[in-house]
Amino acid sequence: MAGYGGETTAARAPGDVIAGRYRIGGRLGRGGMGTVWRAADELLHRQVAVKEMHLPDAGLTEADADKQRDRALREARSVARVRHPHVVVVHDVVEQDGRPWIVMELVDGRSLADLLAEDGPLAPREAARIGAAVAGALEAAHHHGIQHRDVKPANVLIEQAGGRVVLTDFGIARVPGSNTISETGSFVGSPEYTAPERMSGRAAGPESDLWSLGALLCAAVDGHSPFHRESIGEIVHAVALGDITPPASVGPLMPVVRGLLERDPARRMAAAEVRTVLTAYAERGTEPPTPPLPTGPLLPAQAGAQAPAPPFSPAPEPPVPAVPPARKRGRVAVAALAVAVLAVVSGATAAVVVTRGEHDAGATAAVTTPRTVTTAPVPAARTPTTPPTTPTTPAPYPAGFQRITDPLGFSVVLPEGYARDPQPPRTYYWSADHSFRFGEREQPPGNAYEVMRAQDAAGPKVYQGYRDGVITRTVQHGQPAVLWQFTYDGFGDGRGARRTFDLCWTEGGRMYDIWLSAPLSRVEEERHTFDTARATFRTP
């Protein structure tokens, strides 16, 4: 098989055993720096993904071999430092025939790149959910001084069962205390998603990852990066000189995209802020506010940066105006930047990884589910039902839903056919097929966040196979609230794993806790039902 810089020294095939333990199955993906395989861990009896690092076939010096081993160790150490539900888990690093291999968790799903290619662009709300997860992963990585430096759709995985989002491929990450690939004088990365300061070879900090996230959000709702062009030179010009005009399809995400695609790194939104506003929109449809205009001087190298955009009005959605052109003096400065970028790129053409055809899957531990491809046109965007912008405003019931007024005094809109099942202090409502279970509980007022944290900590003892627990601060009925999401193995009735959405808040001197659980295979239907229940829930 072809590798980066030449043929790999040893062809692998299904059935081969690595390090006496990992038996290779099918190939999952291949990129410039490595090939990822499905494998069976014969010691622990679990499925994993193993990444084979590419080495040149001939002329490999000991120094070259050491460099490749250091690369593998750097990637493994990068991920091992960051324990976060949206960062891929590394289990082991082994060596076989002088070649390093990284053993990772197997994420059963597709990359965002594959999803966009096969299903088409996403609705803004789903893009926000994915973007919030990536922002959280970056926030955790940056906390440890690690810069990912290759955030793009091919390196974001979406788990098929529960929709979990995972950031992968830290192969060119900058790790404190170690040299990096790009410091040897060549550029490595994906130009369409690379920040201008990195392209030009200038010092780049964590803010560079946030620029990439802005481009990724645009790609999620529009199908491709706003800097997509036919040649490297055109991409460089778009990033360094062109008007930054996000696609109108970003809709209510425009303030976030504008805040991320700032040429001046000092003006970009921070990962924590991005995560907060995207989570709010993904969960309850609260549109991100237009960020305040930044103050302070521009960086000298960014004297030609574009002015902040005016506030975005989501309805109606006129074509997004181009950002006013920079002053002539700034054009000269940015033109010099473009020349520097072109020099870096032209001197390292072989090192630029541009995904065409098969997606770059250098660390993409994804299982591509076989599917039938048809020639029928796909919709421009999937449109899951979005709850009202203001949860306290009554909305027409979705088709097939009805309002239920419980004897305890609360009311909620649920699908028709739900039956009451009181189990004090909880009140349950079951769907007709006994797959969905809505629950409500009242208790004395308290700190909702602490309550959810305690339940999350007790999760492994209460729920068989408890995993993927995430707690998020939010708002309900104008009051501080907390949303807890998790997966567990289910009721033991043969229907498999379940996903739960649990919202807790204090209102009118009482603490309310409402939740919905459903089979993982129906998580999107569950999300719609929970959003409707949350938006229509009324206290006594």
Residues assigned a catalytic role = 150
The token duo for 502 is: 């649990």
- Helix and strand tally (H, E) in the chain? 11, 20
As beta bridge partners, residue 486 has 500
Q: Are 311 and 290 in contact (CB under 8 A)?
A: yes
3-class DSSP state of 205: coil
Whether 406 and 413 have beta carbons less than 8 Å apart is answered as: no
Q: Token pair for residue 393?
A: 């405003």
Instruction: State the pairing for strand pair 17-18/6-7.
Output: unpaired
CA dist 312 and 382 (Å) reads 23
3-class SS at 312?
Answer: coil
CA separation for the pair 332, 335 (Å, rounded): 5
Alpha carbons 389 and 346: distance in angstroms, whole number: 48
- 456-491 in b/e form (b: 16+ CB < 10 A) is beebeeebeebebbebbebebeeeebbbbbbbbebe
Cα–Cα dist 367/162, whole Å: 14
CA–CA distance, 461 with 488 (Å, rounded to integer) = 11
Helix (H) or strand (E) holding 421: strand 419-423
Element (H, E) at 233: helix 232-240
- 8 Å CB contact between 429 and 415: no
Edge to edge, what strands does the sheet with 109-111 contain?
109-111, 156-159, 165-167
Q: How far is residue 348's CA from residue 336's CA, in Å, rounded to a whole number?
A: 19
Q: Are 24 and 16 in contact (CB under 8 A)?
A: yes
Check if the beta carbon of residue 484 is closer than 8 Å to that of residue 516.
Answer: no
Handedness of CA 333, 335, 339, 342 (dihedral sign): positive
